[in-house]
Amino acid sequence: MQSLTRQQLVLLVLLTIVWGVNWPVMKLGVTDYPPLTFRAISMALGLPVLALALVVMKVPFRLPARHWPELLWLAATNMFVWHTCIILAVKTLSSGRAAILGYTMPIFSAVLGALLFSAVLTRRGWIGVSAAALGVALLLWHELTGLAGKPAGVALALVAAATWALGTQLLRRTRIPVPTLTLSFWMTALTAVVMTLLCAVFERQQWREPSATAWFAILFNAVLIFGFAHATWFYLARALPPLASTLSVMFIPVLGVFTGALWLGEVLHWQDFAAVALMVVAIASVLWPARPPAPSPASPATASGTGRGPDA
């Protein structure tokens, strides 16, 4: 477990707000617009914003050729599958519930970490994962009947979450010697190509001028999601242990539910408020500073101040 620095804490708060609010924004964007095309346009417009950030911060674009195969694998697990599956799920499900299913990711991450990477969960880690799982269950309490009638959307969201969990584990362990912002730029560029190809194949007949609402959602995603949020997340995922980075963002689905209720008229229940408390527990379990270990009793030689053995 690891405490956040002040910079990481500020970035985490901003990331939570931006990503949480984006769930109803995405729902508004894809309600009457092709979802893959929506995502492709957002990425195409967001990539120059991300490139400008690299130029302003004087971060190099260059990535050695020998690291491109690993970058492709990181992009596939962190972005290709996630963005394709989750935007299709948002089209089918309510925004808040898509967010909840998508943020089962920390639970998948804990399981994959134990199975594939020999990660050992501490007692606080188990408390955090359990609290997150129970919070997700409470948030879904009143949706189980509705979700049962939308198996495709549920399956897409869970596949997206599981693949993103694997990507987070791999990103934390990557040894590609370039800044995280460089990785973020190239993963976004590769994903933009993939999404463009997918929308050209599956949605070409549905292409049309976006409405004012769709344009708002596209620009929100271009600037704040692909220009800021993804780069921030990749930074936190590389800087923090996988469990700490994944559970630290568990307030995002809560914010997604509450903003969805505010904007889209979804009804809140007591389970939603109980889930808020559980998500706070989950986050605190991995980010609250641990007490330092008690000092071991001094040996007689040390206590005497000599520090010398019998043959000194």
CA 124 to CA 103: how far, in whole Å? 20
Residue 299 reports pLDDT greater than 70: no
CA 57 to CA 69: how far, in whole Å? 26
The average pLDDT across 293-303 equals 52
Which has more pLDDT, 149 or 261?
261
Residue 15 reports pLDDT greater than 70: yes
3-state DSSP of 1-33: CCCCCHHHHHHHHHHHHHHHHHHHHHHHHHCCC
Question: 262-286 burial by CB neighbour count: b if 16+ within 10 A, else e?
Answer: eeeebeeeeebeebbebbebbbebb
Residue 253 reports pLDDT greater than 80: no
> Smallest Cα–Cα separation from 237: which of 139, 169, 142?
169
The letter for the amino acid at 114 is A
Lowest-confidence pick of 11-25, 117-131, 168-182: 117-131
pLDDT of 25-76, one tens digit each?
A: 999 999 999 999 999 999 999 999 999 999 999 999 999 999 999 999 999 9
Its pTM stands at 0.80
Distances (CA, A) of 160 to 85, 99, 307: 6, 11, 59
Kindly give, in sequence order, each residue whose CB lies less than 8 Å from that of residue 85, ignoring residues fewer than 6 positions away.
156, 157, 159, 160, 163
Count of alpha carbons within 13 Å of 310, Cβ hemisphere only?
Answer: 0
